[in-house]
Structure 1
């Protein structure tokens, strides 16, 4: 049956269109993968998925194009996407929906439209990432643990130093150590300049009798990129 269909000129024309759509999906899928890799943290499997996804979506759309089940098929295609290997960050979600949009457009025959849109989107994303659009000014947040003797009053002990070296500071916790002979203070500060961290610690060592001071990054719960 397939051989009898191939001899028809109309079907031959549709095969040429099919090959054009497939090649367009592959090329634009590679474009999405390359743009996603530009100045971004990524995994090999994820970028391969971005490159292949337009062709897979195109297959689904072409099989049901002109059918009442198109809406159901599109919904099913979206439901098959899982963010398991890579966390669904904003840039990952953008790249996935871009890939799916390419598959939807090529599956419906809008090859030239999606090619133009993809080039514009690619240039726009490269431009935004090149100029570091939306990036916040990096600030040095630190969690400082200070050990002081029990006979030293800790309220307002380091406030003048924090006003000099930090934008903000707060005393998060106080606990006793070494059978109650020492206090451990835990501060959270935002340094004005990360290069002055050593100066701040040296000034604090003078006041706590050169006891232990630990400065580290603030622990936060963040999703993987």
Structure 2
């Protein structure tokens, strides 16, 4: 019958209706988790590809659990197949990693048939994520920013910007110094914590008076490839 898929190896069967229910439930729960991720990361920035991944992961995991069932040989075969996959992406934010484990748990729960429990703990954890975001739990008052200052080669940069940085920032640290344009220019890279009351335009204007009106770049550190709403 079309509604019954028979495993030729073990004789174990499951209905097509149940399989579709598991898959649809996984998609819905993954979509909910993805929406919560985008909501809680709207201000700090989020990766659009990662949002899609959060929808796909529960479905993939639930399908794997459905296919493996209680077949030990099949489980070892899948483990061997996945062991050849190499993940080359850089380590993510700890918050993003928690969402990965969240979706994995949802996929496992749906794949094992505990769809009701999957909806329950998805609702609870999503509510916790939203509450933590609204209350700004453990969020620093000041954002880390990256400052790049271009200076001419004849300017001794050691100590020349310290008074301005001390006036406008809570903390600062020089990260990198490199030459540009065949040594005609130097580029200084700082990691800074701007004071909440500091005026960024006035900060940049004061720096321009010191570097001869060359290029100055001030960006949020670590969020160059994220989406902002």
Normalised by the shorter chain, which TM-score bucket?
0.5 to 0.7
SS at match of 2:199: helix
Partner residue of 1:125?
129
**TM-score, normalised relative to structure 2:** 0.61
What runs of 5+ residues in structure 1 fail to find an aligned partner? Answer: none
In structure 2, do the counterparts of structure 1 residues 214 and 71 end up closer, same or farther at CA, with 3 Å as the change threshold?
same
Distance, in Å, in 1 between the alignment partners of 2:60 and 2:103 is: 10
Q: Would you say 1:103 and 2:107 are equivalent positions?
A: yes
Distance, in Å, in 2 between the alignment partners of 1:123 and 1:223 is: 29
- Taking only aligned residues, the RMSD between alpha carbons, in angstroms, comes to 4.8
Give the number of aligned pairs: 208
Distance, in Å, in 1 between the alignment partners of 2:59 and 2:158 is: 65
8 Å CA contact 1:25–1:54 kept in 2: the answer is: yes
SS at match of 1:117: helix
Distance, in Å, in 2 between the alignment partners of 1:75 and 1:22 is: 21
Q: Would you say 1:89 and 2:92 are equivalent positions?
A: yes
CA shift digits 1:179-219 (9 cap, x unpaired): x9xx97958584545416536845984xx6x9445433379
What runs of 5+ residues in structure 2 fail to find an aligned partner? Answer: 6-11
Structure 1 residues 57-66 or 72-81, which shifts more?
72-81
Distance, in Å, in 2 between the alignment partners of 1:124 and 1:159 is: 42
SS at match of 1:116: helix
**TM-score, normalised relative to structure 1:** 0.61
In structure 2, do the counterparts of structure 1 residues 135 and 184 end up closer, same or farther at CA, with 3 Å as the change threshold?
same
CA shift digits 1:88-141 (9 cap, x unpaired): 523443333322222211221222222211111111112222333333222555
Paired residue for 1:142, among 138, 142, 147? 147
In the TM superposition, residue 21 of structure 1 has moved relative to its aligned partner by 2.3
Distance, in Å, in 2 between the alignment partners of 1:217 and 1:56 is: 41
